[in-house]
Amino acid sequence: MQIITPTPLRKIWLKAAVAGSIWASIEIIIGSFLHNLKIPLSGMVLSVISVWLMISFLQIWRENGLIWRAGIICALMKSISPSAVILGPMTGILTEALLVELSVWLFGKNIFGYLIAGALAVFSTLIHKVISLLIIYGFDFLKILSDLYQFAVKQINIDNESPAILLSVISVFYIVAGMAGAAVGYMTGRRQSSGVRQTIEQDNNVLKFESELNKNDTEQNYAWPLLLINIIILAVILFLINLNYTIPAFAVGLIYVSFCIIRYKNSLRRLKKVSFWLSFLIITFTAAFLWKGFSERVFFSTEGLIAGLKINARAVILIIGFAAISVELKNPLIKSLLYNRGFSSLYQSLNLAFSALPVLISNISLNRDKATPGNLQKLFSGSLGHADTLLSSFEKEHLVRPDVVIVTGEVNHGKTTVAQGVISYLLERNIKIAGFLCPGNDENGERKGYFLQEIGSPYKHELCTMTFNEKRQKTGRFYFNQDTLDKGLDLLKQAYSNKNNELVVVDEIGPLELKNKGWSREIDNSFRNKDLVQLWIVRKKILGEVLRKWHQLNIYIFDIEHDKTETIINKIFDLIISHKKNFS
């Protein structure tokens, strides 16, 4: 028997999960609120709020490394959101967290260090915006902005004013706003740490444990090489554009965009927004009217029109390309590989943070309409008031994980037969078992397909067959019966929701489940019910992939070639008895 169980989290990661979940909930609710109201400088406002929150947490928990960990968790929670473009918000949040952590490390946990941290974090949003615009639109965009500025100052009779003055005024505004956010955060945190904090009831509605890390678009196929290919193609297109190889650049870009539109269904999401096409028109015609307006006194030029169209074409290619990269970053294989390469603490913390998100969002949403400047203090104090309760819940819950017994072996070597023996023995001892087995359909000693058979039922339903059927979904050599797949999902849903069950059997977990199909949906949902023991049948060839996909479990692996049936039975008995003691 092989035992695989996650390592308990250090307390700094538990606190980061709390801070990251509260930060993400505020980003989601307040961010959407500002966006829907079309409030100017909403990015800066969100950054000030983030500084407010980060500095407040540093008064409650003063550990070094808390903020950068919370920033990574918050950024990753944004990355798993349904949005097609995740790179901008992720890098912005990470930058803010790292700058606050660096400033506090250099200048200390004092009011001076906090003011510097706030100033740098909020100012970084301006730099981030400028860099993003340069990446998407290129340096020709700077010429258009400069010409537009010169046109504007002449209209209001301000002569010889350098754009640097305007940039300086804007920079000072961002810096002062960041310092103000830090100062208010310092006062909020001090009040919160010295007073009696609010709490939320610790009941079954506080934490909603789901396998959020493995929830992906079931209609999206992932391929990790495409992550590298997307990055390389975008780099090649930018290289060609910078060398003024316009025709090759846009020929490659056209092919690439066509590929992305076909493969990534959400890649056009940003291009469907009216605001994008409004900026498209503004950039194009501003370039046409001002490209040579001051140097040659020509206030409409074909060269400027072409330059504006080039800038926008570049933007379209990059926006769609970044959306494609964002999709591939959600590949569960990439997440699982990271988990197994030293990032287990991060991913366990992230799963905890997701569990608290529903209740946090609910609480903030109830008070969102009251989020006037005068009431923001109460809103954030209320959010910070959940910190101790969430930490206590996380400390208890992160050690309680579903127990899964896996029976593995080669194809057609008797895994289901062994499982049948285990189940028959347990049923005779009145163990309540639900789920199903998938015995083979053999003809003349040759495997033709598989049946689905509910535990305790004599009836079999055809699950798949090797016989060609154009109406069925094909995976590997087999054509799957959708009606039977639906029946299996219903059986699992009932099995997982019935609290009288002591063991749920899933035969088998295979290539369909690794693609987020088959039984995958109900398996993900099953992790809410931690007092159930599960028995999975997994072929040895894909065992590693299954372990990477569902890594946050206590797993006990039995190989039918080496482990006896009695050993499997004894282990399941021990787990069931343990669960009765822990959850009674």
Taking only the tens place, the pLDDT of each residue in 60-103 is 898 999 999 999 988 877 765 544 445 667 788 999 999 999 99
Name the band, by pLDDT with cuts 50, 70 and 90, for residue 142: low
User: Tokens 């370039």 appear where?
Assistant: 287
Note the pLDDT tens digit of each residue in 276-309: 677 777 777 776 666 655 555 556 677 777 777 7
Note the pLDDT tens digit of each residue in 373-412: 555 566 666 667 778 888 888 888 777 778 999 999 998 8
Task: Decide if pLDDT at 7 tops 90.
Answer: no
The secondary element (H helix, E strand) that includes residue 464 is: strand 461-465
Class of domain 403-583 as given by CATH: alpha beta
Does residue 286 contact residue 152 with C-beta atoms inside 8 Å? no
Cα–Cα dist 392/292, whole Å: 65
Q: How far apart are the first and last CA of the chain?
A: 28
Task: Decide if pLDDT at 155 tops 70.
Answer: no
To the nearest whole number, what is the mean pLDDT of the chain? 80
If one compares 136 and 260, the residue with the highest pLDDT of the two is 260
Cα–Cα dist 323/318, whole Å: 8
Note the pLDDT tens digit of each residue in 194-229: 754 444 444 434 455 444 444 545 456 677 788 888
Buried-state track 91-128, b at ≥16 Cβ within 10 A, e below 16: ebbbbbbbbbbbbbeeeeeeeebbbbbbbbbbbbbbeb
Cα–Cα dist 420/334, whole Å: 35
Cα–Cα dist 145/286, whole Å: 9
Q: What angle do CA 228, 233, 234 make, to 5 degrees?
A: 100
Name the band, by pLDDT with cuts 50, 70 and 90, for residue 332: low
Task: Decide if pLDDT at 240 tops 80.
Answer: yes
Question: What is the structure's pLDDT at 81?
Answer: 52
SS3 assignment, position 77:
helix
Name the band, by pLDDT with cuts 50, 70 and 90, for residue 138: low
Name the band, by pLDDT with cuts 50, 70 and 90, for residue 339: low
Q: Which pTM was predicted?
A: 0.68
Cα–Cα dist 357/353, whole Å: 6
How far from 152 is each of 115, 139, 181, CA to CA, in Å? 35, 20, 32
Q: Where are the domains of the chain?
A: 7-210+357-397, 228-328, 403-583
Does the bond joining 470 to the residue before it have cis omega, within 30 degrees of 0? Answer: no
